[in-house]
Structure formats: C-alpha cells, structure tokens
Structure 1
Amino acid sequence: MTSRLLVLTRTADYRHDSIPAAVAAVRDLSRHPVEHTEDPAALEGDLDDCAAVVFLSTSGEVLTPAGRTRLAAYVDGGGGFVGVHAAACTEYGWPYYGDLLGARFARHPDLQPGRVLVEDGDHPATRHLPGVWEFTDEWYDFRSNPRSGARVLLRADETSYTGGGMGADHPLAWCRDQAGGRVFYTALGHTAEAYDDPAFREHLRGGIAWAAAR
C-alpha cells in the first residue's frame, strides 16, 4: 500500500490566505500522495497508512473527540506529525496536543522582515540554510519555551525586528519524539510568498520527510 500524507487545513478561528499556496507547495514537495481535507472525520478513520499527518495553518478546535483519540494513538504508535505556522494556534482545549506540539502560540508582532538563526544545521529541515537567514514572517511568541522537550532547529533574532516577546532564546522550529512517533513544527509560513521561496520550501520538505521517516 502506498503511504499518504494527510494534510488538514480546517480552521475554526483565523484563516490564513496562504493556505491554498501552502497546500500546492506540499503537493509539489511530498514524495507521498497528498490527501488534503477540511473534514475532521478524516482523522477519525484508520491512519496507519499515513506517512505523516500535517496540520497546515489550522486554527481553533478542529478535531472531534474521536479524531483526537485516533490522532494520539497514531502518533504514539509510531506515526509522524507536522505542524506548520498556525498549527500552534490549534486545539487549546486538548492538553495532549500542547504536549505533542511542544508549545502553544501566545501572540505575534506585525508582519515584518527579520533574521532567523540556525541553531542546529544537522537536520533535513535546516542543513541547506545559511547560519543567518533573512525572512519575513509574524515571528510567533509562544506561551512556553519548547526547548526542554524538543530539539530546537531555528530561533528568532529579536534584535532584527520589533515587538518580540521571548528574548534571546526564541525557538521558531523544532522537532521531538512523541512516544513512538516523530513531531516537526515550524512557526514560519504566514505569507503565500513564503511557499514560493526555495529556502522555505526546502525547510518544509525536510521537516515533512523527517517526520515521515518512521
């Protein structure tokens, strides 16, 4: 059986205009067939044939109780999970999800250029990047720092933009193990233009491939 990449873009809160461009980019980048859905029932069925489940700029409460149970069993049983950008603004009412992702969104300053610092260049999502990467995004702040439970890959240089709220240690992308599964998250990807950026596309491709490599 060919493994699929299940991509959920359901939004119950803010909806990003970049979602169509993001889905198109994932289709281009994935080596697995992509099933894109906005239907929470898609997470209630058998996920064992999924290479990874991707929450792509989801927001709010997007899963049913049955979907929550199924997703937790899938990841804990060895599945891959990828969160992109507003995936950190998702499922605030489900404690497991916060632990799975590693941190939850708190706030962001205005969209603006800034600098991304590569903390760990020995990962498929970062090995192509320069040590300092100029990018434009929303520079998400998080309610807690994920570092204690995750391998931080990228962090923000808050001196390069205005309105940062986490200080010198401001993770932007990380990966972690969740029981038997793998989790990758990147806070980047607010704009549609990001999904045409070769460096960001490779960052996304590498993160998905890592999470899907059981």
Structure 2
Amino acid sequence: MSRSRFSAMLAIMLAGALTSQAMAQTGNPGGPINDNLGEMDYGVCRGLDPKCYHDWPRAPTTKYRILIYSRTGASRHANLGHVLPAGLNPPLGPDNVAQAGMIRMAHEQGWDVDWTEDVTQMASLNGYNAVIFLSTSREILDDTAKTALRQYMRAGGGFVAIHNAFGTNYTWPYYEGMLGGANFYDHLPAREGDVVIVDDKDASTKGLPKRFHYRDEWYNLVPFPTHVRFLATTDEKSWATPPKVGGDAKSIAATMGEPGAILPDYLVHPRYPSVVGHHPGHGDFHPVAWCQYYDGGKVWATTLGHDTRTYQPHGMPGADEFQAMLIGGIKSVMGAAPFCQ
C-alpha cells in the first residue's frame, strides 16, 4: 500500500473516531446544554456493563465492614463538626452529627464501622466492603492513599460518595471518573425542594415514594455525569426561592444553611465581582443519585446530604428517605444487595 493511500485511510479512520466520540456526547438527559459539558476518557472500564467489575476470587464475607472518611481540606460542612484528631475511630463530639449518624446506621444494619480523617489510615483499604467519602473537600489524599484507593477499586471494592465528596480531589482525574465523570461546579443557598425517584428498581430506591420533600443545596455539576444509571433527580420547579447571601462569614454561613461551618476566604471576600455567566441549572433533568461500575469496582453516588438534620432519625422531611437510599446504596456496593439494577 502506498504511503499516500495509507495516510488517506488513516485520516478517514481518525475522522470517524472523532465523529463517534462527538456523537457519544449528544443526547444527554436534561437537554442539549449538557451535550457540551465534555466527556473525558478516564482510561478505565466504566459504566453499566458488569464486565467492568472484577469479580475475582475472594474470601467469603462473614461480617460487613465499612470505612467513613470525612477529611476536609477547605470548607467544612457544619454537620461534620470539629476536625477529628488523628488515628482510627477517634472520639466524637456532639457536633460531629454526620459521622455519628453514619455510625448509627451501620450499627443498626449489623455492620462493623471505622471512621477517620487521618490520611495515613487510608493506606490499606482491602479489609473494607465499602469506603465512604462523607462530605470531604479539596485535596485530602496523598500519593499513598490515592494508590491504595485505586488498587482497592481494581480488586472489586465498593465506593460511596456523599454530598461534598463531589468537591474533592479536583486535580485527580481518576477520582472524577469514579464520580461518574462528574464534578461539583456551584450551588445556591440551601432550600427546600422535591427529590424524584426515576428508577425504583435499584436496591437504594426500591420501596421509596416516587417523590419526597427535602432540603439541600442542589449541586450543579460540570461535567455532567455520563455512562451511569440515574436513580434520582430533583425537580427544579419545586425549589423554594433562595435566601439572599451577604455579610460577614458567620452570617453568610448561616444564610447558606451552614451555621458554624468553616468557609474559605474566597467565598466570603471575592476579589472582584463576577463578570462570567451563571450556571443555569440542569433544567428538566437534574440528577442527585446514580451508580456505575468503575475500573473493577462499584460506585454509588449522591449529591444529597447537606443538612445536619438529614443524618438524624425523622430529623426533617425526607431524612428517613435519604437514609434509606444511602443504606441501600451501601448494601449494593458491598454485595449485600443487587448492584445498579
């Protein structure tokens, strides 16, 4: 074959590949605005094909054990309370509401549970049926922990992302892929609205009402999640009018529904007024929970979980439904219930 003919064939193949890639990004739920939010190739097998799960030989599970990781590197949600001291299972105070709520749920299910904000405790994860990132923020893993998490997933591990886990590890593309190829972009102040179950066959949504009232920050996501099974959305038309935000750090935190939260200075004192466009939201399809296989493991993710009361029994409207979703999602990544079906 001549060099010119080979070059022409190669050009045609590349053009076809690029066309296929562009076509793969269209038709996202929620309308064409989401078609242009990008779709990175994370270099792993991910999506809804069980072939992406490494069902390797393993010892039979006699007792489920989960790890709750709530380390924060910037802003810290008020429901996490004070920063936990180093080590595994440090004592909790009355303000560590989210951690205590997760521990209570685990004990009610008969699971063993560890909790930590010490990155050195993330060096060995293979003893856990599920690793849960609970409203972590920013860069909270060192190289050793990143390697351990990646190897854990490749061995068929289970990962659960809750709320500000989407505002974490921005500089690590592998982690963004774990979240469904999605990431936190922004949100308005916390307000009430409705969660809508769009897939009631999953272990995390089965038996829940089709719609329930809830209060959250309703994260906007860029990129928009792809190759996942969407489980729940929020109806943007149901949202209450957001309160106006202004004042000092304490009043801003209170208005955002985070009294006692630690806010970074760039949120309190922006250098200049913004001159760029505002995220318009996701319109008719605003996902808040989904699942996928990822690089050998299983992932269940939700952007919900902002309000302190959501971790308490009957703490607020929708709290019990949120906790039921969460327990079902954890069960599914652990193998205690069908996953992403």
Which category describes the TM-score, using the shorter chain as reference length?
Answer: over 0.9
Measured against aligned partners, the alpha-carbon deviations of 1:160-198 in whole angstroms (never above 9, x if no partner) come to: 125761111211000110132110111111011111222
Structure 2: gaps of 5 or more residues: 1-61, 81-95, 243-279, 313-318, 337-341
CA RMSD of aligned residues (A): 1.5
| Aligned residue identity for 1:119 | V
User: Alpha-carbon deviations, 1:35-89, whole Å to 9, x = none?
Assistant: 10000111112x2111111000000000001110110110121000001000000
Distance (whole Å) between structure 2 residues aligned to residue 128 and residue 51 of structure 1:
24
2:328 counterpart of 1:206:
yes
Residue 107 of structure 1: CA displacement? 0.5
Equivalent pair of 1:145/1:171 in contact (CA under 8 Å): no
1:28 Cα deviation after fit: 1.8
Which is worse superposed, 18-27 or 35-44? Answer: 18-27
Residue 188 of structure 1: which of 281, 290, 304 is its match?
304
Q: Is the 8 A contact 1:85 1:189 kept in 2?
A: yes
TM-score (norm 2): 0.60
Contact 1:3/1:49, CA 8 A, preserved across alignment: no
Q: Is 2:91 the partner of 1:15?
A: no
Could you tell me the percent identity over the aligned residues? 38
Deviation of the 1:27 alpha carbon: 1.3
TM-score under structure 1 normalisation?
0.94
Deviates more, 1:191-200 or 1:58-67: 191-200
- Structure ID, larger Rg: 2
1:35 and 2:114 equivalent? yes
- 1:68-147 correspondence to structure 2 within 5 Å: 68-102=146-180, 103-146=182-225
Whole-angstrom distance in 1 between the partners of 2:221 and 2:172 = 17
Structure 1 runs (4+) deviating above 6 angstroms are none
Question: Is contact 1:83-1:184 (8 Å) kept?
Answer: yes
2: CA distance, partners of 1:127 / 1:145: 25
Distance between the aligned counterparts of 2:192 and 2:126, measured in 1? 40
Other-structure match for 1:155: 233
- Distance in 2, Cα, partners of 1:80 & 1:52: 5
DSSP 3-state at the match of 1:86: helix
Ranges in structure 1 where 5+ consecutive residues have no aligned partner: none
Aligned residues: 212
